[in-house]
Structure 1
Amino acid sequence: MAAPVAGVVRLAAASRLLVLALSLLSRLLFRPYDTSASLHPPCLLPSNASASADDDPAPTVSSLAVWDGVHFLRAAECGYEYEQSFAFLPLLPASLNLLARSLLAPLVPVLGYRAVLVISGYALNNAAFVAAAAYFYRLSLLILKNPNAAYRASVLFCFNPASVFYSSLYSESLYALFSLGGIFYVFTGANTIAMIMLALSGSARSNGALNAGYFCFQALLHAYDAAVQKKRPILAVQVLITGFLRSVFIFLPFFAFQAYGYLNICLYGNMEEMRPWCKAKVPLLYGFIQSHYWGVGFLRYFQVKQLPNFLLASPVLSLAVYCIIHYTKLLHRLFKSISIHELIVATVEGRSSEAYKSSDVDTVLNSGFSTTTNKAQGHADVKRRKSVATDPGSMHNNRSNDKILEVNEGCPILVLPFILHLAFMTFTAFFVMHVQVSTRFLSASPPIYWAASHILVSPKSKRWGYLICIYFIAYILLGSLLFTNFYPFT
């Protein structure tokens, strides 16, 4: 497996160089639409005033922070000064500070602290994306059990439509790294590493807290196996409690940051009148910011003037809906061919014992679920042979049974939590959020690339395969041109 992973790493690095080259070229050829990002007032908080300077020795470098990157840069440089700045979670700003004050500290006297923060962000995010691509391939191989499909999906991920965000001062790369890595370790049994990585994903983006669902899925599988197969109800209760505690741990960073905002604004703030969200029974700052400052809410974006944004998001939303329908059909056929009980038992028993016993990361990386689908396929083979032996007239059904086995090989039950996660994210993106954000909001969801990979090799979908390639290429080019120059993109 080392050679394919190395190939994915090289491809991911090449894709980042391409996006960076296109972004820099577009910045040289076109004038930014909004030049206000180059204005940097000094920090308001006295404790951070020393880190901020009125002069900027390298304004060209500092101006590379655009759109949300301006807010992440400000939080890294000056801390959380305003109520709305708490919408930008702390992992990226903290990481920028750490790099700028350690490895890149010698550059500060030459370029200035602000410029070094920007360089730190670009270096960190591009490196994080390369690591995320490696985890993406390993996760895809683990779930799909098909090296070719996993590699095709990884290529698509490396050149995904939201590529420009993964090479900019945004939190997408860190989220993808810790989300994909954490989910990979969930399914290989390295639960401690998985908890830490998924918790970090929740401190990069708010939707990272949803990754707790993978631990819930794992707990439900093992609780069912303990209660029904092993007849050990106490063990089943222990498994459920452990899964619940792991899920709570993943939520902790996000809620800890909300508590930090409450302390700074509601308890120790210098506002004359207490903010309305401070008086709520559950004072959730993040939800208030999204609703009050950006108008996020159910159906609030359904306006005629927003039609262009719906069109901009339509490709990724269409692909997500196709993915959900495609894998739902495959799962339905899987459940018809094999009982759910047999699937759960095969999935749980198929996990390598080394993945549980070893704390060595390298061992876990090379273990994982072993032949889960092969065991499920074995059950189906036995059923088919029994059916043929007892009913000679069923011989004509062999071809359809073969198709079911093919479905089982490409769609194990482990796909289920990914589809549920994607369905929730897609619903939220379309009905609740600013819909144009869907392109990057859904960009770290593996099933989208798995489905697109399937379309590319399907003889019946050649035209759709071409359209997917055109869509990916066009959005990389558009993103590099528009986003970098402060034009609206997604």
Structure 2
Amino acid sequence: MELVKGRDPYLRELLRFALCCRALALLLQALFNLLIPDHAADAFSPPRLAEPGVCDLLLEWLLGGLSRWDAEHFLFIAERGYVYEHNFAFFPAFPLSVRAAAELTLWPLQRLLRLRSRLLLSAALLNSLFSVLAAAALYKLGCAALRCRRVAFLAALLFCVSPANVFMAAAYSESMFAFLAFSAMWHLEKGQSWRSGLLFSLASAVRANGLVNAGFFAYSRCKCFALQLQVGPGLARKLPPFWRQLFSLASSVILTCAGISLPFVLFQCYAHMRFCAPGTGLSQGIPKPLLQLALDKGYRLAAVDGLKPPWCSQRFPVIYSYIQEAYWNVGFLRYFELRQVPNFLLALPVTLLGSWAAWTYLTANPRHCLTLGLERRKNEEQGEGKPGTGFCCPVVFVYVVHATVLLLFGVFCMHVQVLTRFLGSSTPILYWFSAHLLQEHEPLLWSEGTDKETRASLSEKSVLGNSLAGSYEKGISENPLVRLLRNYRLNTPVTKCILGYFLSYWLLGLILHCNFLPWT
């Protein structure tokens, strides 16, 4: 795979570190699940229709913490399909992948493990793979966008200890989505539009917020169009007529956005066919324990007795938005209640970090932000100067806008406690900005090169830094994140806050989530 090819020592160290973090997370969740009794949560818990064997019980003891909360939905869908109406809040790409891995890769274990156990095992293995590949994709994306390998490397290391760690390990779709989204962004930065569009389309089959990624394509095309309009008279004569450029822009944006939205549309059409079309009720093939669960909990089955749910009569019958509103009371300002203050406090660190990132970029590039990055700079017109590097470089603008949109939507329109995993798996900004803060404020990292190539204030350290960087590229002797942790007492307050936030949420997520206790 192109992501992990090459002799880049940064990438090799990143892959080793990511694998170690994933193995440690699996070990700790098993330990915490054994030592801490499960909380009796009012969560989706379908009955087990087959008696577990010894191997099933052993696997449940080892990986049972990964099947909590929404993971039950994904595993249930992978095993039984979309039986209940509220199952359609969970998109099909991840459960289909889990089922395929359980049937194909783990088929030798079918005599030892029942299907549900094989699904849990395949989910753990797939998410371990996807999370490692997502870290590699984030590193490659950082190298292309930030043009600074050290910052990109540190950001990818932070991703390995993400505050959303437990959701990268559990049977959730976050790891798969992060891998597809970051890979698509990377290919778009490289100019590989079709490959990027395909990955963005697959991402929209994993999570609904994948639709927002269409904005990357639209912005990329609009930026090229705007820059072409600002070229000099000599170059303008060689370009196609304005109307032809405009038509090419419109058709390209429309077709690409339609392709990215296609999985979402097809999934909604499938739900409409199941619930709204006459004579499609499948309740006769559903086992009686699942039918009884529907009666006990009030779950709606597909077109039972010809009764159609209310969303079928809407002008645009979208089941996803209906489920979010009807089942979980998701909507604008609906979560702003006094009793939700603890959840707002839980999401406060990621909210502050995202807001700080947006403000830092805005104050560093006010004109670039006001012109939406569509103004050709003088050095571009003259062919002089090098592109900016680091977090505040012009290329990062679209990523900051994307992260800010997700942040505002998450705060005002979602259950705010999910904001940590929502942003942690969707945008590179949290990791880029955290790495930027560490490089800017932590003297222990200055010898790693940071951005001192462009900072005169550190010129006296450049000789030492370059020599260290040279030896670092020949063979990495020490992980910079591990260095910071080993010298934690010597770290600056900013470094302590960032590392404290990442590591505390990394650990608390494993303790709380894996025992059915409320978390993000």
TM-score by structure 1 length?
A: 0.82
**Structure 2 match to 1:440:** 421
**Structure 2 match to 1:449:** 431
**Structure 2 match to 1:419:** 400
User: d(CA) in 2 for partners of 1:345 and 1:247?
Assistant: 32
Alignment partner of 2:364 out of 327, 330, 336: 330
1:265 CA drift (Å):
0.7
**Structure 2 match to 1:476:** 506
The 3 A distance-change label for structure 1 pair 66 and 321 is same
Q: Check whether the contact 2:368–2:375 (CA below 8 A) recurs between aligned residues.
A: no
User: d(CA) in 2 for partners of 1:339 and 1:415?
Assistant: 10
Q: Check whether the contact 2:44–2:70 (CA below 8 A) recurs between aligned residues.
A: no
**Structure 2 match to 1:281:** 315
Q: Check whether the contact 2:180–2:199 (CA below 8 A) recurs between aligned residues.
A: yes
**Paired residues for 1:5-44 under 5 Å:** 5-34=11-40, 40-41=46-47
Q: Check whether the contact 1:16–1:167 (CA below 8 A) recurs between aligned residues.
A: yes
1:56 CA drift (Å):
2.3
1:434 CA drift (Å):
0.4
Q: Check whether the contact 1:72–1:93 (CA below 8 A) recurs between aligned residues.
A: yes
1:105 and 2:87 are equivalent in the alignment = no
1:190 and 2:192 are equivalent in the alignment = yes
AA at the equivalent of 1:242: S
**Structure 2 match to 1:257:** 267
Q: Check whether the contact 2:399–2:428 (CA below 8 A) recurs between aligned residues.
A: yes
User: d(CA) in 2 for partners of 1:443 and 1:410?
Assistant: 17
1:271 CA drift (Å):
4.3
Q: Check whether the contact 2:14–2:157 (CA below 8 A) recurs between aligned residues.
A: yes
Uncovered stretches (5+) of structure 1, i.e. residues with no partner: 43-52, 350-373, 379-404
TM-score by structure 2 length?
A: 0.77
User: d(CA) in 2 for partners of 1:452 and 1:277?
Assistant: 42
User: d(CA) in 2 for partners of 1:194 and 1:345?
Assistant: 29
1:147 and 2:149 are equivalent in the alignment = yes
Which one has a larger percent helix, Structure 1 or Structure 2? 1
Alignment partner of 1:177 out of 176, 179, 193: 179
SS at match of 1:110: coil
Q: Check whether the contact 2:41–2:517 (CA below 8 A) recurs between aligned residues.
A: no
The 3 A distance-change label for structure 1 pair 35 and 333 is closer
1:33 CA drift (Å):
1.1
Alignment partner of 1:467 out of 497, 501, 513: 497
SS at match of 1:341: coil
1:458 CA drift (Å):
2.4
Q: Check whether the contact 1:96–1:117 (CA below 8 A) recurs between aligned residues.
A: yes
1:37 CA drift (Å):
7.8
Alignment partner of 1:215 out of 208, 214, 217: 217
The 3 A distance-change label for structure 1 pair 103 and 413 is same
Q: Check whether the contact 2:45–2:72 (CA below 8 A) recurs between aligned residues.
A: no
User: d(CA) in 1 for partners of 2:276 and 2:222?
Assistant: 39
1:468 CA drift (Å):
1.0
User: d(CA) in 1 for partners of 2:354 and 2:369?
Assistant: 22
Q: Percent identity?
A: 32
AA at the equivalent of 2:259: F
Alignment partner of 1:206 out of 201, 205, 208: 208
Query: Comparing 449-458 with 106-115, which one deviates more in the overlay?
Result: 449-458
1:69 and 2:77 are equivalent in the alignment = no
1:239 and 2:246 are equivalent in the alignment = no
SS at match of 2:196: helix
1:277 CA drift (Å):
0.6
AA at the equivalent of 1:297: G
SS at match of 1:101: helix
1:340 CA drift (Å):
5.2
Q: Check whether the contact 2:151–2:439 (CA below 8 A) recurs between aligned residues.
A: no
Runs of 4+ in 1 over 4 A off after TM superposition: 35-40, 333-340, 407-410
Q: Check whether the contact 1:227–1:236 (CA below 8 A) recurs between aligned residues.
A: no
**Structure 1 match to 2:298:** none
User: CA RMSD for the aligned pairs?
Assistant: 2.5
| Residue-by-residue CA offset, 1:433-460 (whole Å, 9 max, x unaligned) | 0000001000021111111112113239
SS at match of 2:375: helix
**Structure 2 match to 1:370:** none
The 3 A distance-change label for structure 1 pair 300 and 39 is closer
AA at the equivalent of 1:148: R
1:236 CA drift (Å):
4.0
**Structure 1 match to 2:343:** 309
AA at the equivalent of 2:217: F
The 3 A distance-change label for structure 1 pair 293 and 29 is same
1:376 CA drift (Å):
6.5
AA at the equivalent of 1:56: P
| Residue-by-residue CA offset, 1:148-187 (whole Å, 9 max, x unaligned) | 1111111111111010110110000000010000111111
1:291 and 2:301 are equivalent in the alignment = no
User: d(CA) in 2 for partners of 1:178 and 1:223?
Assistant: 27
User: d(CA) in 2 for partners of 1:344 and 1:88?
Assistant: 48
AA at the equivalent of 1:54: A
AA at the equivalent of 1:477: L
User: d(CA) in 2 for partners of 1:336 and 1:85?
Assistant: 42
| Residue-by-residue CA offset, 1:338-388 (whole Å, 9 max, x unaligned) | 995334994xx9xxxxxxxxxxxxxxxxxxxxxxxx96635xxxxxxxxxx
User: d(CA) in 1 for partners of 2:343 and 2:43?
Assistant: 23
AA at the equivalent of 1:482: L
1:333 CA drift (Å):
5.8
